[in-house]
Amino acid sequence: MAHLDTVHHEPVRDICRSGDGTILMSPQGIGGDDRAGVYMALRILEQARCHVLFCEDEETGGQGARKFTASDLAPDVNYIVEMDRRGHDDAVFYRCDNREFVDFVTEFGFQEAYGSFSDISVIAPYLGIAAVNISAGYYNEHRPHEHINLAHVEHNIARILEMVMTPSGQFEYIERETYGFGTFDSQIRLWDHFPSVESTRDDGKMLMPVPETAYVEVNGRQVENGLAHFMDKQGIVYDYLEELDVAVRANYTKAYEEDGTPLKFSKSAATRIKVVSLEEAMARLV
């Protein structure tokens, strides 16, 4: 698996290379997240028979992955490998806690790491199949100075190819049961597992709606994603999900007045809205 969209809005016109040719950057944003993952999947297909899923709109909350779950497609696979993680050695399993599968993946030199959300957060529980998100060799994602390390890309193509060519049975998706006290499970909160606790906890935050005369920018680019936007008194922007009546923090996003000046918070216009993590929102929507 990989996703076809990037956060950069301009096509790549200029590519800058390091002296040894292994590091790639672009003034337009190289878009290694997730062009590198798409490239890796195509390279692996040259030697291995695999099902492949390319999703759209991962960067706006896994929209393509959710459309997949609304389809009739249900491939019979042993496990899922996504290439949509920064770095070189990471293997992220999210809420999948099949330790046999973790051991299988880490046998190929990857290190278990922890993250908040990617397309497999939606796809894996839907199919009931264990999944892992592996490093795709990109760094500083979502920023103009994002770069791709081709040596890391090639190394992980070889390791993943070795993995998928190794005979195995089917690994079941097993939901992680945690209570939020560990450092790596800080995003999986205690009240996710005890509804009675959630009902008594006030998670509301005072947020001001971004008026229609204002606009928001993501990574310096004006966007219209069809979502209502809110802002807190620190200037942090949130996307409002009407179906859940919750707000999710919008990373790398700022709100501006019509004349381009930063939008100011107005306490009198604010209302209390529950704020949740993107992972929690996606889990509720699936």
At 48-87, the pLDDT tens digits run: 999 999 999 999 889 999 999 999 899 999 999 999 999 9
Asked if the model's pLDDT at residue 194 lies above 60, the reply is no
At 284, the amino acid letter reads R
Nearest Cα neighbor of 110 from 118, 119, 101 is: 101
- pLDDT of 139: 94
| Average pLDDT of span 207-214 | 92
| Average pLDDT of span 168-188 | 65
- pLDDT of 87: 94
Per-residue exposure over 250-280, b if at least 16 CB sit within 10 Å of its own CB, e if not? beebbbeeeeeeebebeeeebeebebbbbbb
- Residues paired with residue 256 on neighbouring β-strands, in sequence order: 215, 262
- pLDDT of 54: 98
State pLDDT tens for residues 131-159: 999 999 999 998 888 999 999 999 999 99
Q: How confident is the model at residue 178 (pLDDT cuts 50, 70, 90)?
A: low
Per-residue exposure over 51-74, b if at least 16 CB sit within 10 Å of its own CB, e if not? eebebbbbbbbbbbbbebbeeeee
- pLDDT of 110: 93
At 80, the amino acid letter reads I
Asked if the model's pLDDT at residue 190 lies above 80, the reply is no
| Average pLDDT of span 266-275 | 90
The DSSP secondary structure of 162-209, one letter per residue, reads HHHTS---PPBP-B----S-SGGGTTS-GGGS-HHHHHH---EEEEEE
Contact 278, 116 (CB under 8 A): yes
Q: Report the sign of the C-alpha dihedral through residues 200, 206, 207, 208, in that order.
A: positive
State pLDDT tens for residues 93-139: 999 999 999 999 999 999 999 888 999 999 999 999 999 999 999 99
Distance of CA 118 to CAs 34, 111, 134, 230, Å?
Answer: 11, 18, 11, 24
- pLDDT of 250: 85
Q: When comparing pLDDT for 16 and 253, which is higher?
A: 16
d(CA 46, CA 8): 28
- pLDDT of 48: 95
- pLDDT of 47: 96
State pLDDT tens for residues 241-270: 888 889 988 877 899 998 899 999 998 899
CB under 8 Å to 22, separation ≥6 — which residues?
149, 150, 151
pTM above 0.75, yes or no: no
- Could you give the 3-state DSSP secondary structure of residue 218? strand
Average pLDDT, the chain: 87
- pLDDT of 225: 65
Asked if the model's pLDDT at residue 187 lies above 50, the reply is no
Nearest Cα neighbor of 155 from 77, 68, 90 is: 90
Locate tokens 């709109």: which residue?
A: 57
- Could you give the 3-state DSSP secondary structure of residue 16? strand
